[in-house]
Amino acid sequence: MVRFLLSRLLRAAVTIVLVVTFAFVVLRLSGDPAQIIMGADAPPEAVDAFRTAWGLDQPVWVQYFHYFGAIASGDLGRSMRDGREAIVLVAERIPATLALTVPALLIKLLLGIPAGIYAALHRNSAVDRALMVAAVAGFTVPSFVLGLLLVLVFAVQLGWLPSGGQESWRHAILPVATLGIGGAAVLARFTRSAMLEVLGQPYIRTASAKGLTWRAVVWSHALPNAAIPTVTIVGFMVGSLIAGAVVVESVFSWPGVGRLMVVAVANRDLAVVQCILLLVAATMVVANLTVDVLYGVLDPRLRTGIRRAGAG
C-alpha cells in the first residue's frame, strides 16, 4: 500500500509540473503581457521598464526556472495589475466559487445517482425513458445555453429571480441550478449504465436464487458493485469544484475563481493565471488520488489482486 501511494504521489507531482509548464509556455506564446497590460498606446520606454520590472526581458527558460524556484519556496508571484500576491487574490475568490459548486455537487449526487438507479431498475419504463431524454438534454445543452435559458425564463419572463450578481442567496439559485442540472444528467446516465451492467452479471442471479428479496439483491449485491465505476466520475466532479464554474460564473457575473481566471487570461496576468491553474491541477490530482484509494476500498480484487496464471 505504501508503495502504491508513493507511486501515485510521484505521478501526481509530475502531473502538476506538466500542467504548470504547459500554462507557462502557452501564456508566453500568446502575446506580450507588457504590451497588453500597459495598453497599445503606452510609450515604449514604459513598456520596457515594465518588462524589466517583471523579468519579462529575460530568456523564457530563465523566467521558467525563476518561476519554479519561486513556487518551490512557496511564492506564487504577484498580480501584474495591482501588485497584490496572486495567492491572496485567488484565495479571496474561492468561497464565492464554492458557494456555487458545493450546492451544485450535492444536487448532482442527490439527483443524478438516485435517478440513474431508478432508471436502471425500471428499464424501458416510461419513467426511464423520460429520465434518459432529460439526461441527454441535460448534458448535450452547453452550460451557457442552459444558464441563459434559465435567466430568460426565471429572471426575464417570470421575474422571480435575479439574473446576475452576488447580493443574496437568491442570486445563487440560477447558477447553482445551471451547474447542478447538467452534472446530474451526466451522473444519471453513467449510474444507469453501471447499474445495468451489474444487474446483468451472474452473481445477481445467484443472489436471487438464494432467496433474497429484490430489494436486498439491489442494495447489498448490485449497488456496491455499481459504485466502483461511478466513483470515477464523482471523483472528477469533486476535482472540478474549483474550476468547474468558469462559464457559469461569467454568465451570471458571479465573482468567483472562474471569473478571475477569465479576466486574468484576457489581461495576461501571468502570475494569477498560473496560480489558478496550479490550484485546479492540485484539486484534480487530490481527487484522483482519493478515487484510487476508494477503488481499493470498494474492490477487493484490487487490494489483494492475486491473479492466477492463465496461460493455456
Partner 1 sequence: MSAPLLEAEGLVRRYAMRRGLFGRGVEIAAVDGVSLRIEAGRTLGLVGESGCGKSTTGRLVLGLERPDAGSVRFEGRPMPPPGTAEWRRLRARMQMVFQDPLGALDRRLPIGEQIREPLDIHGLLDPAARQARVFDLLHAVGLREDHAARYPHELSGGQRQRAVLARALATGPSLLVADEPISALDVSIQAQVMNLLADIQARFGIAMLFISHDLRAVRQLSHRIAVMYLGRIVEEGEPDAVLHDPAHPYARALVSAIPHPGRAVRRILLPGDPPNPADRPPGCAFHPRCPAAVARCRAESPALKPRADGRLVACHVAQGEAEAPIRQAA
Partner 2 sequence: MSGLVAITGLTVAFSGQPALRGVDLAVGRGEAVGLVGESGCGKSVTWLAALGLLPSRAEIGGSVRLEGEELIGAPPARLERVRGGRIAMIFQDPASSLNPVHRVGRQIAEALSLHRGLEGASARAEARRLLDLVGIPDASRRLDAYPHEFSGGQNQRVMIAMALAGRPELLVADEPTTALDVTIQAQILDLLHSLRREFGMALVLISHDLGVVSETCERVAVMYAGRIVEEAPTERIFADPRHPYTRGLLGALPPLAGPKRRLASIPGGVPEPWAMPPGCAFAPRCAAHRPECDRAAPHPLPVAPGHRAACLRATEPAAAEPVPA
Helix count and strand count (H, E) for the chain: 16, 0
Q: Which is nearer to partner 2, 140 or 206 (CB)?
A: 206
CA 136 from centroid of its chain's CA atoms = 20
* Residue of 4, 169, 203, 214 interacting with partner 1 (CB under 8 A): 4
300 is an interface residue for partner 1 by CB under 8 A: no
What is the x/- site pattern for partner 1, positions 244-283, by CB under 8 A? ----------------------------------------
**Interface with partner 1, residue 1, by CB under 8 A:** yes
CB of 114 to partner 2, least distance (A): 21
Say whether residue 307 binds partner 1 (CB under 8 A). yes
Residue 97's closest CA among 279, 252, 241?
Answer: 241
Q: Residue written as cell 429571480? A: 161
| Residue from the set 72, 126, 209, 306 that interacts with partner 1 by CB under 8 A | 306
Report what 224 binds from partner 1, partner 2, none; CB cut-off 5-8 Å by kind: partner 2
- Closer CB to partner 2, residue 170 or residue 210? 210
| 305 three-class SS | coil
Amino acid sitting at position 191: T
Q: Is 309 in the site for partner 2 (CB under 8 A)?
A: no
Amino acid in position 215: R
User: At closest approach, how far in Å is the CB of 294 from partner 2?
Assistant: 13
Q: What Rg do the C-alpha atoms of the chain give, in angstroms?
A: 24
Identify the residue among 14, 91, 136, 302 touching partner 1 (CB under 8 A).
Answer: 302
Number of other residues whose CB lies within 10 A of the CB of residue 293: 14
By CB under 8 A, name the one of 3, 83, 168, 202 that touches partner 1: 3
End-to-end CA distance of the chain, in Å?
A: 31
**In sequence order, what are the residues at sequence separation of 6 or more whose Cβ sits closer than 8 angstroms to the Cβ of residue 17?**
none
DSSP E strand stretches across the chain: none
- 211 binding partner 2? (CB under 8 A): yes
Q: Mask 74-103, x = binds partner 2 (CB under 8 A)?
A: ------------------------------
- Nearer residue to partner 2 within complex by CB, 158 or 306: 306
By CB under 8 A, tell whether 298 contacts partner 2: yes
> Should residue 221 be labelled a site residue for partner 2 when binding is judged by CB under 8 A?
yes
CA distance 181 to 104: 8
Please report where in the chains the cell 501588485 appears, as a residue: 83
| Smallest separation (angstroms) from partner 1 to the CB of 309 | 5
Geometric angle at alpha carbon 8, from 5 and 9, rounded to 5°: 85
312 binds, among partner 1, partner 2, none (CB under 5 to 8 A by kind): partner 1
DSSP annotation string for 55-92: TTTS-HHHHHHHHHHHHHTT---B-TTT--BHHHHHHH
Rule CB under 8 A: which residues touch partner 1?
1, 3-4, 302-312
